[in-house]
Structure 1
């Protein structure tokens, strides 16, 4: 009997199923929409309007990829109604204020969006009577970062220095509380809800046009013929291509579908421990892939605190899910730059689906 590839396994789980995605107009959300369509899922997206009419979601005609709902996750009653009307089999919660620097400028809004938006979604699940698997996406920055060389595993103390990181740590506490209080695994036959939290590293990939992110900033600089200004050249981050964590989330959902009690847990998704780069190393690799360009290290700028060192321990996801990163950090950068270069004269949808299929066909 022929062994099924990863894509075929995922199709067996998601084909014909209803999937509710918050934050579907964002960078990661748009990639997930296209993957889920390839897997045959029926998707309902709930999100704010895209920030720019020229962004990724509009570039792939995202409205045609799903049931497209514009809404704010801070609107508890509206969110509840959309969830209950749809009756999803799976939920992927991605909606968030996801930028560290923005969180310093608007801390209260960051907490309101990230923490209370998560609480609102969890609360809506209390009123749904059918089985549902919910994958709640937080961040690698939920851990109390001691700037140590050893990676953090899922049992480490939560914390977060800046408002963004801390708001996401608060999300983890809310997820744990709702799981214990309303969706306890010992009572699964009564509520039929399986809740998991996923923490991934610094995600890169084509289609990210956000402000104050290194790859989008680099692309803008290259297209303008200007040097990139680098703020923290020595900072170490767990860089990974967007397809790696997304495939991990989908594989987790597949496992939750098979055993909703065993996999209602927290999981890290990141690169291999020894495959990490500094910001400066990432920039040099990206410029080599672009074939031209330059950068300058920012001098004498007053900027808020950002962590300089962070690594994730992914042993649990590898052992329990059978997941592992497909891209090396270098390959992730090269694939990302290839997307931006080709997007100048290639349809974004065709380009993105081609990278998705290459990724899954290789596994």
Structure 2
């Protein structure tokens, strides 16, 4: 990827100090890797290594960044790290990200996702130099009434589970802070929120996520249990929303009109597929006689799951000139090849991850995406 960092995102991240909270997680590891390729000086803040295996550890990222173990609910420690680093950009991904865990640990989820976000906003108040912050929430922040058209940024916040409620609450807290503290005297701070969901990609080993569950099972020659095979999701590769977050950070720095705004980042409509279809297509890289051998359907439904949830991304297209890059087949290929290489143990996973970022940029350039240069 040598040289590509100077063309992507108008070269705005090259040499800049960037904080990534939640950097040891799945999305955080991909974002950290991409920022390093863009020439950024990265400071990571996470409370722990969340999974075993861990993409963060497999890629050896600790040695390449300013790595901090810090719980975002500890305001004093968080402020100490951020103030010392003096970031130009912040991408806030740290959260309790699993719906099933929110049923078991509701207060942990609320404190991480709501108080943690408020603490990050408090830290921004204390900065006395220009900083652009992208606060990541979730597509589940919306009150889901299972309609067939996508949710717009102006639709109601809500949630039938604690995780969704916590993400809706984080959006409300963001809006209150932005209006109360950042619209006047703190104009050197610009911030916006990004909403995405149904993100898949290599390196995810979180519990109760369909792709991670499949890879854990199939790597042990077992079938995976699925609960809702007919549930439809707009699956998107992790690089899709990350390109949106990075473009949003660029636009915050270059245009004050995006300050305080919210943006959805989601895939093209043809990437809407059922859980069964996703498993059938992913299983093609594994040694099954037929796709149906890769899974069994269980009637164990320990918590409510939405049948349909998708986003309307017209605002991102209109204001940021952003749209998803990969088609469904390309997405499946990226995911499958990463995990297959990992479980074969023959590839340098950092090198493969960089190659996938490079390939994603190549495809995006062919489609004339706005951020490609």
Q: Shorter-chain-normalised TM-score: which range?
A: over 0.9
Matches of 1:341 and 1:160, distance apart in 2: 36
Query: 2:167 matched to 1:171?
Result: no
Q: CA deviation at 1:224?
A: 1.2
Matched with 1:312 is 311
Question: Does the residue aligned with 1:225 lie in a helix, a strand or coil?
Answer: coil
Residue 210 of structure 1, aligned match among 202, 206, 209: 206
Matched with 2:370 is none
Deviations 1:258-316 (A, max 9, x none): 11333431000011134301111111111124353623443332411111111110111
Given that 1:22 and 1:45 are in contact with CA atoms closer than 8 Å, whether structure 2 keeps it comes out as: yes
Query: What are the residue-to-residue correspondences of 1:119-158 with 2, within 5 Å?
Result: 119-158=118-157
Q: TM-score normalized by structure 1?
A: 0.94
Question: Does the residue aligned with 1:19 lie in a helix, a strand or coil?
Answer: strand
Matched with 2:225 is 229
Matches of 1:149 and 1:249, distance apart in 2: 25
Matches of 2:67 and 2:164, distance apart in 1: 29
Matched with 1:15 is 14
Query: 2:280 matched to 1:284?
Result: yes
Query: 2:180 matched to 1:181?
Result: yes
Matches of 1:261 and 1:300, distance apart in 2: 49
Matches of 1:359 and 1:328, distance apart in 2: 11
Matches of 2:164 and 2:134, distance apart in 1: 19
Query: 2:187 matched to 1:191?
Result: yes
Residue 242 of structure 1, aligned match among 223, 235, 238: 238
Query: 2:255 matched to 1:256?
Result: no
Matched with 1:323 is 322
Residues 7 and 322 of structure 1, relative CA distance in 2, 3 Å threshold: farther
Given that 1:11 and 1:40 are in contact with CA atoms closer than 8 Å, whether structure 2 keeps it comes out as: no
Given that 2:175 and 2:260 are in contact with CA atoms closer than 8 Å, whether structure 1 keeps it comes out as: no
Q: CA deviation at 1:209?
A: 0.9
Question: What is the CA RMSD across the aligned residues, in angstroms?
Answer: 1.7
Given that 2:44 and 2:65 are in contact with CA atoms closer than 8 Å, whether structure 1 keeps it comes out as: yes
Matches of 2:320 and 2:287, distance apart in 1: 38
Given that 1:139 and 1:199 are in contact with CA atoms closer than 8 Å, whether structure 2 keeps it comes out as: yes
Matched with 2:298 is 299
**Count of residues in correspondence between the two structures:** 357
Matches of 1:219 and 1:147, distance apart in 2: 29
Matches of 1:110 and 1:85, distance apart in 2: 28
More displaced 10-residue stretch of structure 1: 293-302 or 92-101:
293-302
More displaced 10-residue stretch of structure 1: 47-56 or 105-114:
47-56
Matches of 1:6 and 1:71, distance apart in 2: 29
Given that 2:141 and 2:167 are in contact with CA atoms closer than 8 Å, whether structure 1 keeps it comes out as: yes
Matches of 1:218 and 1:151, distance apart in 2: 28
Q: TM-score normalized by structure 2?
A: 0.92
Matched with 1:63 is 62
Matched with 2:160 is 161
Question: Does the residue aligned with 2:67 lie in a helix, a strand or coil?
Answer: strand
